[in-house]
Structure 1
Amino acid sequence: MITFSIAQWRAWAPGLVSVDDWQAWSRRPVVLPGSDEAPDVSFLPAMQRRRLSRLARMAFSVGWPLAEGREQLPLVFVSRHGETPRTFEILSDLAAEQPLSPTQFSLSVHNAIIGLWSIMRGETSEMTALAAAGDGLEHGVLEAAALLDEGAPAVLLVVTEDQPPQAYSPWINDVPFPYAVGLLLTPGKDWQLSLNSAADPLSNAHWPHALNLLPVLLGQETSCQHAWKNRVWTWQRNP
């Protein structure tokens, strides 16, 4: 079991920006209609914004406000599928025997977003990009807790997924819509996360873990459980 506090959090999805938006969605969660909408990142210079994919924009939109005023803030970035739309474009160009863009390739790798984050913020703290399974949220929290235990006063955790191209739909079914969730973790005992094992594989949560956590973040519930394969994660918010 690990303990920590969540000083602040933010979330974004198409049409869901404010706390009130997420309150309404978490009471009646539904799959959002397809959308090309991307979050507002006008706090970045235009030349920098041009390089950002929607996945990167989502990560920056939830992470940047949480990092405001904090120097030397470690970052843990979690995405199961990463820049799938960008890599699909590269593969499509390759199949059509078109010249490949070195810039597109360099921005398609899994740690590209934390590299851009480091450059744009001048951040030199430890940063980690995790390509995790369905319980990537929890593995991100473990990574953040380890950094807190080493003395970091706060750690930024960002979990985000973009809608994969339609060609991948037979294999990728765990992204109901594009979303990003950012958590600013600090030392404390307001929250606890524990792991148990089940003898047999369990049914997965209906929603991605980061979205399933929102009712607890919003104070509608005090705990939740997330199962992935034979791992059972229990989140508890202490009074």
Structure 2
Amino acid sequence: MINFNIAQWRAWAPGLDSVDAWRAWCHAPALLAQSDAAPDVSFLPAMQRRRLGRLARMAFSVGWPLAEGLRDLPLVFVSRHGETPRTLDILSDLATDQPLSPTQFSLSVHNAVIGLWSILRNETSEMTALAAAGDGLEHGMLEAAALLNEGAPAVLLVITEEQPPGAYARWINDVPFPYALGLLLTPGDEWQLALHTATVQPSETQWPHALNLLRTLLTEQEACQHAWKNRVWNWQRKP
């Protein structure tokens, strides 16, 4: 069991880029229309912006404002599937005997986002990139809690998923639309996350658990639960 505070949050999805928009969606969640929209990251240098795929842009768009004014801020980055559009492009080039782009490859690896974050923010604190399964958010929280326990005054947790290309549709069914959620975590006891083990079926929910947690936040619910394999995670907010 771990305890923590959620000091601030920020989220992005196509057409959902404000607190009011997310609050409305959380009260009446619905699938979003397919869109190539990407978040505004005009705070980054133009040359760097051009290199970023949408997944990295989403991560920066939610994380950068939360990190504003904070130095030595550890980062935990979570994505189950990573840069699937870049990966497919690389595999397609391989299949047709085309030369591979070193830039495409370097930006497709799972820790590319935290590497870019470190460079662009001149940040040298602890950073972790996780590729967890269906409960990646919770594993990210455990990593963040460990950093808080070691004395970090705050930890930034970012979880994001890109809309996978159609070629992956048979295998990736847990990303209804591209999204990113950033949480600025601090020591405290406003929230509690507890793990129980049992023989359970994965949670059959329409929305990724990161978005269900956001719904819990914005609809002022006191608890939510997420099950994956033999792990049952209970989130509890102190009344």
Q: Is the 8 A contact 1:26 1:214 kept in 2?
A: yes
Q: Aligned pair 1:97/2:83, yes or no?
A: no
Return the alpha-carbon distance in structure 1 between the equivalents of residues 204 and 229 of structure 2: 7
Note the 1:93-172 alignment, pairs <5 A. Answer: 93-172=93-172
**Deviation of 1:230 (Å):** 1.9
Change (3 A) 1:202 1:133: closer
Return the alpha-carbon distance in structure 1 between the equivalents of residues 179 and 202 of structure 2: 25
Q: In structure 1, what is the equivalent of residue 186 of structure 2?
A: 186
Deviations along 1:52-76, whole A, 9 cap, x unmatched?
A: 1100000000000000000000000
Q: Is the 8 A contact 2:27 2:219 kept in 1?
A: no
Note the 1:31-110 alignment, pairs <5 A. Answer: 31-110=31-110
Change (3 A) 1:163 1:202: closer
DSSP-derived class of the 2:160 partner = strand
Stretches of structure 1 that go unaligned for 5 or more consecutive residues are: none
Q: Is the 8 A contact 1:203 1:229 kept in 2?
A: no
Q: In structure 2, what is the equivalent of residue 21 of structure 1?
A: 21
**Deviation of 1:215 (Å):** 1.9
Q: Is the 8 A contact 1:5 1:187 kept in 2?
A: yes
Q: In structure 2, what is the equivalent of residue 238 of structure 1?
A: 238
**Deviation of 1:194 (Å):** 0.5
Q: Is the 8 A contact 1:198 1:232 kept in 2?
A: yes
**Deviation of 1:107 (Å):** 0.7
Q: What CA RMSD, in Å, does the superposition of the two structures yield over aligned residues?
A: 1.0
Counterpart AA for 1:80: R
Return the alpha-carbon distance in structure 2 between the equivalents of residues 109 and 94 of structure 1: 16
Deviations along 1:135-176, whole A, 9 cap, x unmatched?
A: 000000000000000000000000000000100001100000
- Structure 1: 4+ residue segments shifted above 4 A: none
DSSP-derived class of the 1:141 partner = helix
Q: In structure 2, what is the equivalent of residue 209 of structure 1?
A: 209
Query: TM-score, with normalisation over the residues of structure 1?
Result: 0.98
Percent of counterpart pairs with the same letter? 78
Is the deviation greater in 201-210 or in 2-11? 201-210
Deviations along 1:27-61, whole A, 9 cap, x unmatched?
A: 11111111100000001110111111100000000
**Deviation of 1:202 (Å):** 4.2
Deviations along 1:72-92, whole A, 9 cap, x unmatched?
A: 000000000001110100111
Kindly tell me the number of residue pairs found equivalent between the two proteins.
Answer: 239
DSSP-derived class of the 2:180 partner = strand
Change (3 A) 1:204 1:197: farther
Deviations along 1:161-217, whole A, 9 cap, x unmatched?
A: 000010000110000000000000000001000111122434433311100111222
Stretches of structure 2 that go unaligned for 5 or more consecutive residues are: none
Return the alpha-carbon distance in structure 1 between the equivalents of residues 24 and 203 of structure 2: 26
Query: TM-score, with normalisation over the residues of structure 2?
Result: 0.98
Q: Is the 8 A contact 2:200 2:231 kept in 1?
A: no
Change (3 A) 1:40 1:212: same
DSSP-derived class of the 1:152 partner = coil
Return the alpha-carbon distance in structure 1 between the equivalents of residues 128 and 223 of structure 2: 27
